[in-house]
Amino acid sequence: MIDVLIIGSGGAGLSAALAAKEAGASVLVVGKMYPTNSQTAMAQGGMNAALGNVEEDHVSLHIADTIKSAHGLCDEDTVRHMCADAPQTIAWLERIGVPFSRIDIGAADDNAEALSSEVSPLHTIAQRKMGGASAKRACYAQDYTGLKLLHTLYDTCLKEGIAFLDEHFLLELIVPDDTAKGAVVLDIRSGEVKQIDAKSVIIATGGYGGIYHGYTTNMYGASGDGIAAVLRAGGAVSDMEFVQFHPTGLKHSAILMSESARGEGGYLVNSKQERFVDELKPRDEVARAIFEQLQKQEEVFLDLRHLGEEKLMTLLPQEVALCKLHEGVDPVSELVPIKPVTHYTMGGIDVDYALEVNGIKGCFAVGECANAKVHGANRLGGNSLLEITAFGRFAGENAYKHAVYASSKPANSNVLHACQKKIERLFTQEAPIDFYTHRKALGKRFYENVGIVRTEAGLTQALEEVVATQIALKKMGIRDRSKTNNQNLVEFLEFENALMLAPTIISAALARKESRGAHCRSDYPQSDDTHFKKHIVLQWKDKQ
Amino acid sequence: MQITIKRDKSFEDFQISEGLTLLAALYEIKEQHDPTLTFSAGCRASVCGTCAVRVNGREELACAYKPKEGDTVEPLQYHPVLRDLKVDKQQAKTTLQKSQTWLHSYTEVALTPQDAHLTERQTDCILCDSCYSACPVFAVNPDFLGPFALTRAYRYTVDKREGESKSIVGAVQTNGVWDCTLCGECTAVCPKGIDPKMDITMLRGESLNHGYSDPSFANQSFGTPDFGGGFGFDPNGGF
């Protein structure tokens, strides 16, 4: 029986795997794609650590900025833990070879060679300023920080001989007596349903932004599979109502236009070609201003024309290419249609200070799928890569500690049989209602009613529709009957998970009759600390 | 607009909407016309490396390609096809493992911007496997380590934090640097503008520096008794 089973092979899962292995654990990493396909690769900006390489900085400032951005909803001890761990996490990443961008601190010195032998390796790591930070704190690797971090973690996993099970989809956790004993997974290639026994389990499956289908920078598969599995197994979720929107996604494809487009002087204009907001305000404020325009039936555009072709091609070549490819417009001479889009989900699996899931012993959760209460009501840019690596390692260590004393008696095969039956049923069941249509409709309804600005009436309507869709789900299913490599089946299972999480987001948003951070209620525009400076935790009373 | 897609047993024509990326068109087909059409996809923004296919015989990321009337879409070459456009990429992991593309022994050194620049382009790799599909060496030698593994080997070799680059260089001698024909197909198709051909050339230089030599010279028979060569299949033989 393996010690630590890790479900999810992005940056959090790989960091956990390396730490658990280093501690002495036998490790297996299971993912529905290949490790380097994960969403970690999409992170551009950087990873926060108060190294103070470029300007004065201190861990206490990093802590203060994070707490401020969380709008009173974070666990300050956990924030302190993460921020204090940041420099040593960067040191670890430096040792495994992450190709950070660098600064030249010996440039002015004739004796640069001698100097560089005295300088700490960490002190030449370049740092940039991100929104909401009081100093240049984000370590980066050009605009590919997540990509390069992820690939270096993967290379290191191959070095350490970490075992992978790629293209396996999590169906259920095995949790007899409130203690995790493994998981049941679907081998996407063969169609076989398998049980994996383990002494402890780490969930690192990513966020639930995929619910906003068509209105998110996330991949289609960001369906909160691990969060849904934890709920079904009796664990808790919290802060589900907090969803971060990025102001500038391309209108038709929801592809991200980097914040640097505004940073370099781009304007936001409406159909009348009027500017309506200070473009450099924080993400949530700009997103709300754009949303107001859209509500007034205005179209909103990113206007880069005044920057000129030369400047655009030098500063924003990737953005220019993306506009042409996905929107068919040339930003040199045309307006770029945009809309704010779902970018990151703060809520998730409710975990304690050791990252153990509230309600399931021996089960840990880390990364975007988890709510470690470091982001609170709004995540600070540069803190998510930090969370997945620093806490990824922490989860790996803690999971191994649990495994050392855990029983090695495998669970019975009840969950396995239930999952096998479920999958078999899907293959025989008729599917008169098309789930792709409903996936699209759910995304639109969420964007409009559970999005940037929310109201009691809008949320209630969304909840009613979700309940109706859940009833209709019985008539949905797969139309591809192939046992092997069935993408239709995987997408249906993802839709089921997203649909299961939908009411948790809406009901928490309904219950939170205030505005705080990313959660904006136009019918309750003020924050209400007396009643709502607390987490909304949801758990199923009866396990399914 | 009509495009043709290679299915398991045949080629099939599909009508798609104008203005979509190929990936968006594949989703359109799957959601509206044929739920059995199978392909791999991820981020939609050219950074996860999942959706590479061949269009009219050339490797493209489906998410970064605009279809044209009459295009033919096929799965990547030299990968076992699992279903329709979906291929098995397990071999990629094997070649990376064989090439030992990781930092072997960390040496403490404060890198400069110039040092970082040495590996900047190589580390843009998204492991999309386009270069493997385009590489003609795989047609004659399935055990070739291939372009991206060699680019990655080069990337760690020149990383100044690597205290043991000899191990990496040693790992890419067999079915590696010398088996490349330097045709440059990999460089031509890389969606990230990486130049594996140049990296392999540089890696040959590193190999010579570490005392290795091109085995094809050693293997050439000039009428003297042949000890060691001549067994098995040698792609360089006869070139």
pLDDT tens readout for residues A302-315 = 999 999 999 888 87
Q: Which among A41, A148, A480 has the least Cβ separation from residue B48? A: A41
Q: Which among A97, A253, A478 has the least Cβ separation from residue B103? A: A97
> Which of these ranges, A211-220, A256-265, A370-379, B192-201, has the smallest mean pLDDT?
A256-265
What's the rounded Cα separation, in Å, for the pair A260 and A245?
Answer: 16
**Known catalytic membership, residue A262:** yes
Q: Is A330 on the interface with B (CB under 8 A)?
A: no
pLDDT band at B197 (very low <50, low <70, confident <90, very high): very high
Query: Smallest Cα–Cα separation from A451: which of A161, A257, A171, A211?
Result: A211
pLDDT band at B219 (very low <50, low <70, confident <90, very high): low
Q: Which residues of B touch A119 (CB under 8 A)?
A: 110
What is the average per-residue pLDDT within B29-37?
Answer: 97
Shortest alpha-carbon distance between residue A399 and chain B (Å) = 26
- pLDDT reported for residue B230: 43
Other C-beta atoms closer than 10 Å to the C-beta of A91 total 15
Q: CA-CA distances (angstroms) from residue A259 to A263, A313, B19, B188?
A: 6, 16, 26, 31
Other C-beta atoms closer than 10 Å to the C-beta of A543 total 13
Q: CA-CA distances (angstroms) from residue B192 to A317, A451, B101, B131?
A: 13, 34, 19, 11
Q: Which residues of B touch A101 (CB under 8 A)?
A: 113, 116
How does pLDDT run across B76-90, given as a tens digit for each residue? 999 999 999 999 999
- pLDDT reported for residue A143: 85
- Element housing A423 (H / E): helix A414-428
How does pLDDT run across B132-158, given as a tens digit for each residue? 999 999 999 999 999 999 999 999 999
Answer yes or no: pTM beyond 0.80.
Answer: yes
* Domain A246-342 annotated CATH 3.90.700.10: yes
- pLDDT reported for residue B9: 87
Domain B2-87: assigned CATH number: 3.10.20.30
Q: Please list, in sequence order, all residues whose beta carbon lies within 8 angstroms of the beta carbon of residue A287, skipping any fewer than 6 positions away.
A: A245, A246, A247, A340, A452
Q: CA-CA distances (angstroms) from residue A218 to A206, A388, A409?
A: 10, 17, 39
Residue type, A398: N
Q: Test A484 with B83 for CB contact under 8 angstroms.
A: yes
ipTM > 0.90 for the complex: yes
Q: Return the half-sphere exposure (C-beta side, CA atoms, 13 A cut-off) of residue A379.
A: 26
Chain A: residue nearest B120 by CA? Answer: A99
What's the rounded Cα separation, in Å, for the pair A204 and A226?
Answer: 7
Q: Test B161 with A97 for CB contact under 8 angstroms.
A: yes
A237 or A120, greater pLDDT: A237
Domain boundaries, chain B: 2-87, 90-219
pLDDT band at A113 (very low <50, low <70, confident <90, very high): low
User: Could you say which of 1.10.150.120, 1.20.58.100, 3.10.450.50, 3.40.50.720 is the CATH number of the domain covering A414-539?
Assistant: 1.20.58.100
How does pLDDT run across B93-111, given as a tens digit for each residue? 999 999 999 999 999 999 9
A246-342 and A414-539 have identical folds? no
Shortest alpha-carbon distance between residue A206 and chain B (Å) = 13
Residue with tokens 């993912």: A31
B90-219, superfamily in CATH?
A: Alpha-helical ferredoxin (1.10.1060.10)
- The pair of three-digit structure tokens given for residue A384, joined into one six-digit string: 């998510």
Size of interface A-B (CB pairs under 8 A): 156
Q: Which residues of A touch B104 (CB under 8 A)?
A: 159
Chain B: residue nearest A218 by CA? Answer: B43
- pLDDT reported for residue A542: 66
Q: Which among B21, B96, B115 has the least Cβ separation from residue A102? A: B115
Q: Is the pLDDT of residue B226 over 60?
A: no
What's the rounded Cα separation, in Å, for the pair B139 and B146?
Answer: 12
Q: Are A507 and A538 in contact (CB under 8 A)?
A: yes
How does pLDDT run across B203-216, given as a tens digit for each residue? 999 999 999 999 87
What's the rounded Cα separation, in Å, for the pair B42 and B93?
Answer: 19
Burial class (CB in 10 A: 0-12, 13-18, 19+), A512: buried
Domain boundaries, chain A: 2-164+345-405, 246-342, 414-539
Q: Are B212 and B169 in contact (CB under 8 A)?
A: yes
- The pair of three-digit structure tokens given for residue A8, joined into one six-digit string: 């999810």
How does pLDDT run across A63-89, given as a tens digit for each residue? 999 999 999 999 999 999 999 999 999
List the catalytic residue out of A137, A262, A283, A516. A262
Architecture field, domain A2-164+345-405: 3-Layer(bba) Sandwich (3.50)
Q: Are B216 and B236 in contact (CB under 8 A)?
A: yes
Q: Is the pLDDT of residue A275 over 90?
A: yes
What is the average per-residue pLDDT within A257-262?
Answer: 85
**Known catalytic membership, residue A246:** yes
Q: Is A258 on the interface with B (CB under 8 A)?
A: no
Q: Which residues of A touch B115 (CB under 8 A)?
A: 102
What's the rounded Cα separation, in Å, for the pair A340 and A215?
Answer: 8
User: What is the length of chain A?
Assistant: 544
Query: Smallest Cα–Cα separation from B109: which of B101, B118, B100?
Result: B118
Chain B: residue nearest A189 by CA? Answer: B82
pLDDT band at B237 (very low <50, low <70, confident <90, very high): very low
pLDDT band at A157 (very low <50, low <70, confident <90, very high): very high
How does pLDDT run across A406-416, given as a tens digit for each residue? 999 999 999 99
* Burial call A121-145: b when 16+ CB within 10 Å, e when fewer: bbebbbbbbbbbbbbbbbbbbbbbb
The mean pLDDT of chain B is 92
Q: Which among A38, A101, A189 has the least Cβ separation from residue B116? A: A101
List the catalytic residue out of A246, A343, A445, A521. A246
Rounded percentage of chain B residues whose pLDDT exceeds 90 = 87
Rounded percentage of chain A residues whose pLDDT exceeds 70 = 97
What is the average per-residue pLDDT within A93-119?
Answer: 75
